[in-house]
A = this chain, B = another copy of it.
Amino acid sequence: MTRTRRGLPLIHDDDIRRAAGRLRPDADTEEVTARVAWSVLIEPGDAVAGALIRACGATDALRIAFGQTGLLSSALVPPRALHEALARWLPRAQPRAVLDALISAQEVGARVLLPTDDLWPRGLDDLEAHAPVLLWSRGDPTVLGALTAAAIVGARAATSYGEAVAGEIAGDLAARGTLVVSGGAYGIDGAAHRAALGSGGATAAFLAGGVDRSYPIGHQQLFERIRQAGVVLSEVPCGSAPTKWRFLARNRMIAAASLATVVVEAGWRSGTLNTAGHASALGRPLGAVPGPVTSAASAGCHRLLREYDAICVTDARQVRELWGEDDESEQQPHPAIDHDRTRLLDALSIRSPREPIDLARRSGLSVDRVRALLGVLDLEGEVQQRAAGWVRSP
């Protein structure tokens, strides 16, 4: 601890710098090292660290925090807040822990994403002082380059109804290029990831623990599939346990990294409502999928509709509408057109040829409308003209 205060070995240790260089040879080693150090020092969402880093960069923030430029600190953060923050950071200010984080990452092939990277999810910046200092990633981070991203989240104790609807929505979104963001949990999260992968689309899982851990253990295979075709992300270093606090903090990233958050199933006091709360706080559109009122697994969704002004969504098209995308081509065909067509086809016979005037009487359409529709149906091969009039193709 005394050494830390003097030489700042958290980032100036040679072993640490070499390991950081190996992890991100393309980036500024000092910046990588400093952010890795912060990711070891703090619990997710530490606003004092966030404010310091935003104000003067990760490296200088460390110097300020650990006393090398003590005077500056009080101008950025109230002295008492910094004092309290130091009290919680110091127990973790071990160079060994920083080195361990880097080595563990290398061992599992994890990479580090920095806020300055092109692939950094820009939405995370809206978390301001609560934004993650970096992201540990495994898999293919280029999927983060998708133009649109939607969070599909929900209960672990999902019903088959919920899993089916989550799969339907996530699969459709992913098939049309939207990154499906979720938390890798059992139930809705898993169904969303699986459907995105199944439709050949992209998916990202934000984990509460380190990316070296498969939690829940039953999703080991799913995480492997996500790492092959998508990406697994976490703000805490490898080896970190997925504690309850980290689950809550992780939810803010899911909401911030997505254009909209959709809750598929959630109990009355589900942790998913926490993600929904983050989406609302960030001004992101919040969707809720309704379900039977007799299903406890939908109670949280109905609560979101009632108390959080969530928007009722029932399919992927309505999810895209949350961020203003309008699938005009998919909209229901004008009923009048279908109607006339049906009425004319009803009026036609396969065997007896009929003249337009007869068809008009039978269908209740005008003779002009009948003639126009017959032309269209002829091109489509639905009708044929005979000497004595028109017949329907068999």
Contacts and interface: CB of A to CB of B under 8 A. Distances in A.
Interface in A329-378: 332, 335, 339, 342-343, 345-347, 357, 360-361, 363-369
Interface in A305-331: 305-306, 311-315, 318
Nearest to A310: B312
A269 interface: yes
Contact of A363 (B43, B46, B302, B314): B43
A352 to B, nearest CB: 13
A269 B42 contact: no
Interface residues on A, range: 35 or more
A339 B290 contact: no
Interface in A35-59: 42-43, 46
A332 B84 CA distance: 35
Contact of A366 (B84, B161, B291, B305): B84
A82 interface: no
Interface stretch (A26-34, A243-251, A380-388): A243-251
A312 B302 contact: yes
A243 B339 CA distance: 12
A129 interface: no
Given A88-B369, A291-B291, A312-B312, 13 more contacts: A43-B343, A84-B366, A87-B368, A92-B364, A243-B343, A245-B346, A248-B339, A269-B335, A290-B290, A290-B305, A291-B292, A299-B314, A306-B313
Q: Which 3 A-B pairs have the closest CB atoms?
A: A290-B290, A43-B364, A87-B366
Interface of A: 42-43, 46, 84, 87-88, 91-92, 161, 164-165, 243-246, 248, 268-269, 289-294, 298-299, 301-302, 305-306, 311-315, 318, 332, 335, 339, 342-343, 345-347, 357, 360-361, 363-369
7 contacts: A91-B360, A92-B364, A243-B347, A248-B342, A268-B332, A293-B315, A305-B305
